[in-house]
Amino acid sequence: MPKKIIILVLSGFLICSCTVNSLPEQTNSNQPIDITANPVIELEVKTNKSVYSSQENVLLAVEIFSKQNLNNVVVTARGLTGSVGRDYFYQNKDIDLRKNAWQKINLSQQLPVCNSCSGLRPGDYLIRVFVTSQAQILAEKDIVVKINQ
């Protein structure tokens, strides 16, 4: 191969590599959201009652405030874990959040026919509500629910 062609090819590679290295860095929209520096979600959770009995519906009113538009967000509420390790409250809801707006959703679950038979003895139980996007937790809040027979 003549020296002129080799020099031209090498010069071309050098110019291309310099051009690629000087391009501005692209941002990927799938990058994780940094919630530690500036939380993007505020979360409030309330129940419709202070004490629940067998076969009653536990209703959670969840209010979410977002500082930015977020699509395909999942709100999950999980808890009321009985003595056998089963969660008697487990609900998911997919939503889109609008920037600088509160969004309200309700999640509910009926308690078993016999709370104590199911491992839900009288007492206080935790339900954890969390908001996720791209498998990253953006916010979470716990609420305590009191169970009677």
Question: Residue 134 CA to chain centroid, in angstroms?
Answer: 8
Query: What residues contact residue 143 under an 8 Å CB cut-off, 6+ apart?
Result: 45, 46, 47, 60, 126, 127, 129
Token pair of 54 as six digits: 């067998």
pLDDT of 22 reads 40
Measured distance CA(52)–CA(17) in Å, rounded: 67
Domains of the chain by residue range: 41-147
Cβ atoms of 18 and 11 closer than 8 Å: no
Instruction: Identify which of 52, 60, 58 has the alpha carbon closest to the alpha carbon of residue 76.
Output: 60
Residue with the bigger pLDDT between 38 and 91: it is 91
Is 68 in contact with 121 (CB distance < 8 Å)? no
Range with the largest mean pLDDT of 3-7, 27-31, 73-77: 73-77
Query: Given 3.30.450.60, 2.60.40.10, 1.10.3720.10, 3.40.50.1970, which CATH number is that of 41-147?
Result: 2.60.40.10
* pLDDT at 145 (0 to 100): 95
Q: Which residue in 81, 68, 48, 57 sits closest to 139, CA to CA? A: 68
Evaluate whether 54 touches 111 at the Cβ level (below 8 Å): yes
Return the half-sphere exposure (C-beta side, CA atoms, 13 A cut-off) of residue 115: 23
Q: Could you tell me the pTM of the whole model?
A: 0.72
Tokens of 30: 């799938």
The answer to whether residue 111 scores a pLDDT higher than 50 is yes
Q: What pLDDT band is residue 129 in, cutting at 50, 70 and 90? A: very high
Contact predicate 119/83, CB 8 Å = yes
Looking at every residue in the chain, the average pLDDT score rounds to: 81
